Amino acid sequence: MSADHVGTRVPAEPWPLPRDASVADHLVQRLACWGVRRYFGFPGDGINGMTSALQRTNEQTQFVQVRHEETAGFAASAHVKYGGGPLGAVLVTSGPGAIHALNGLYDAKLDHQPVIALVGHTALTAEGGGYYQEVDLLALYKDVAAAFLAQLDHPSQVRHLVDRACRTALARRTVTALVLPLDVQDLPAVPNPPHAHGFYHTSSVPSSGPTTPPEADIRHAAQVLGSGERVAMLVGQGALGAENEVREIAHRLGAGVATALLGFTAVDHREPWVTGAIGLLGTRPSWQLMNQCDRLLIVGSNMPYSEFYPPPGQARAVQIDHDGTQLGLRYPTEVNLTGDAAPTLRALLAALGPGPGPTRWRETVAGATAAWRQSQRELAEQAAHPVNPQLLFATLSERLPDDVMLAVDCGTTTAWYARHVKVRPGMLASLSGTLLSMGGAMPYALAAKFAHPDRPLVALIGDGAMQMNGVNELITVAKYWQGWADPRFVVLVLNNRDLAFVSWEQRSDEGTPMFPDSQQLPDIAYHRWGEVLGLRGELVDHPDQVTDVWDRALRADRPTVINALVDPAELMMPPHFTVDQARKTAAAVLRGDTDWAGIVRRGIPSVLTTYRPRRH
């Protein structure tokens, strides 16, 4: 990323350790040297020493009690994504707690977020004896924390294990883990190991990160890109913090810019040259951009759908990433630049020299983007039964506060967000970008709100994810919301009683009907559940209600749960709908899909609106 925390200096000793400090006290203090002040987790006897130590810091640290350890893992990942601190921290108990946390930790690993997991364990004296909750945590965590994983067996290890775990997590932007046996947590601390053989004296000063590539490579990249006539850019989360540089180099190259979902906030989606999301849930102009370009600049993205890149041999390509191992993995790039996005782009701008001004290519990109946006607005306004889900997103986009934070779940919600929400500078938005796990939005929303309690938040969630963990984490919202400076925490639940994304994948990929036993969901009054918890509840069952509901929710004096009854047959049209996909969807209808009438009712107007020729 362009502006990470790897080189940030933090205090060497945030508070002095008392003479009677325990190993757990030393752990908490040493972690604070690395900027860890907030822990997401759930208590248990395997971490009693750690929670007691947090209590003794007199509110210099914070333990956020969530309903499930999986939430803790997601929230720690999101804590970094939303700028809550340099490192995310998970604190969970032994056995079941450690197992529960894994899914959220994999989200951090796959999205390259620095997170440290602190996992309680059976006392050393009982290990190997089949003790309650005894699990081989070193084996269990060896994949998710492959960069660094260790068990703390002696008080003198605290300094070097914490320093190495934090340094590795920051430098490699990944998950590391420390396994903490219960009895060791309560032993007397050894803050200064002896100057002797077999002991270490380590530094809590973070390492500097990569900055700019060699000048010769910059000149080569400038030659490749500057000689193109139809330049496309793909930006991902590595471009976050380099928004000005992305805009300037796009202007200099006369480029159109597509975005991976994790890089959504790196550009202003109101700009005519920003084509929006790329991939299966992306936009048609992003598809066209990649299929017509002769040059490609990839900035901080590793989007894995190869079919959405230009055909091999069509475009000469340059890629920028702070991690050299991630370069050239998705497209046969000609120049690979290892460096942070902002300084590398500034060096590239200097090498390119003055820009060409407006180009016909830019006009083509802008025309295609305008036509797409018009078609999407028309789709959102089409009648559905009872409410068109796209209308909720299009209407929200027009009303978003400038400083809003968005948390997005996996499923049809992601598609409508990608196509209708015009993110602009100053906003924060994220999701489980690579793991694509359902159940990420509510933990992300909580982490964002703890990072910035003075900013409004909107969580966009499908009913499947809401039933996974959302209804439980609303209890966490109810527990904490009165301590937030801005109480606005809006949860939109798309209630279509169907795991709709899975249903559409089954139809278009397999040619089989929706399987009710697998995909149908109970109809829950989510707004009533919010009211039971002391929050506001809103029911949307008619399109005329949408505007007023958003206005009330974004003015509310407390969190709001919106239960929106939406049409399960609303079709997610890919940017390029193949003949094979159409054939298989038709086969699903002919084989007796339970919602065949809805597919016909919404499918025909969706196809006609999305793919009919338009004048730019």
Same domain, 285 and 392: no
pLDDT surpassing 60 at residue 589: no
How confident is residue 354, by pLDDT bands cut at 50, 70 and 90?
A: confident
User: Residue 65: exposed, middle, or buried by beta-carbon count in 10 A (0-12, 13-18, 19+)?
Assistant: middle
pLDDT at 208: 76
pLDDT surpassing 90 at residue 499: no
66 domain residue, yes or no = yes
pLDDT at 352: 94
> Mean per-residue pLDDT for 580-593?
52
Least confident of 352-361, 525-534, 579-588: 579-588
> Mean per-residue pLDDT for 568-576?
76
**Backbone torsions φ then ψ of 574, nearest 5 degrees:** -70, 160
CA distance 193 to 541: 66
Same domain, 29 and 167: yes
pLDDT at 579: 47
340, 366, 392 - which closes a domain: 366
Same domain, 502 and 397: yes
- pLDDT, tens digit, 9 for 90 and up, residues 59-84: 999 999 999 999 999 999 999 999 99
Question: What percent of the chain shows pLDDT beyond 90?
Answer: 79
199 domain residue, yes or no = no
Same domain, 355 and 420: no
Q: Which has the higher per-residue pLDDT, 68 or 4? A: 68
- pLDDT, tens digit, 9 for 90 and up, residues 402-412: 999 999 999 99
| Residue listed under structure tokens 């991939």 | 279
How confident is residue 615, by pLDDT bands cut at 50, 70 and 90?
A: low
314, 336, 366 - which closes a domain: 366
| Number of domains comprising the chain | 3
How confident is residue 6, by pLDDT bands cut at 50, 70 and 90?
A: very low
616 domain residue, yes or no = no
Q: Which residues contact 203 (CB under 8 A, 6 or more apart)?
A: 163
pLDDT surpassing 70 at residue 496: yes
| Residue listed under structure tokens 């849930």 | 281
* Average pLDDT of the residues of the chain: 90
Answer for the pair 464, 521: CB distance below 8 angstroms, yes or no.
Answer: yes
Answer for the pair 481, 437: CB distance below 8 angstroms, yes or no.
Answer: no
pLDDT at 498: 85
pLDDT surpassing 60 at residue 580: no
How confident is residue 225, by pLDDT bands cut at 50, 70 and 90?
A: very high
Same domain, 397 and 536: yes
209 domain residue, yes or no = no
What's the gap between Cα 188 and its chain centre? 40
pLDDT surpassing 50 at residue 7: no
- pLDDT, tens digit, 9 for 90 and up, residues 84-106: 999 999 999 999 999 999 999 99
Answer for the pair 93, 120: CB distance below 8 angstroms, yes or no.
Answer: yes
Helices 596-611 & 579-590 angle (0-180, nearest 10): 160
pLDDT at 355: 72
Question: What percent of the chain shows pLDDT beyond 70?
Answer: 89
Q: What is the 3-state secondary structure (H, E, C) of 215-226?
A: HHHHHHHHHHHH
Same domain, 334 and 389: no
pLDDT surpassing 70 at residue 428: yes
pLDDT at 203: 81
CATH number at residue 121: 3.40.50.970
pLDDT at 578: 55
- Provide the residue range defining the domain that includes 435: 382-611
419 domain residue, yes or no = yes
Answer for the pair 209, 7: CB distance below 8 angstroms, yes or no.
Answer: yes
pLDDT surpassing 50 at residue 593: yes
How confident is residue 207, by pLDDT bands cut at 50, 70 and 90?
A: confident
2 domain residue, yes or no = no
**Backbone torsions φ then ψ of 179, nearest 5 degrees:** -95, 125
Same domain, 37 and 120: yes
- pLDDT, tens digit, 9 for 90 and up, residues 439-476: 999 999 999 999 999 999 999 999 999 999 999 999 99
How confident is residue 187, by pLDDT bands cut at 50, 70 and 90?
A: very high
Q: Which has the higher per-residue pLDDT, 408 or 196? A: 408
Write out the two tokens for 178: 């420390």
Most confident of 69-73, 497-501, 601-605: 69-73
pLDDT at 13: 81
Indicate whether this model's pTM tops 0.85.
yes
CA distance 110 to 438: 15
CATH number at residue 321: 3.40.50.1220
Same domain, 324 and 405: no
pLDDT at 206: 81
- pLDDT, tens digit, 9 for 90 and up, residues 254-304: 999 999 999 999 999 999 999 999 998 899 999 999 999 999 999 999 999
Q: Residue 386: is the preceding peptide bond cis (ω within 30°)? A: yes
> Mean per-residue pLDDT for 30-59?
96
**Backbone torsions φ then ψ of 470, nearest 5 degrees:** -65, -40
Same domain, 91 and 155: yes
pLDDT surpassing 50 at residue 4: no
191 domain residue, yes or no = no
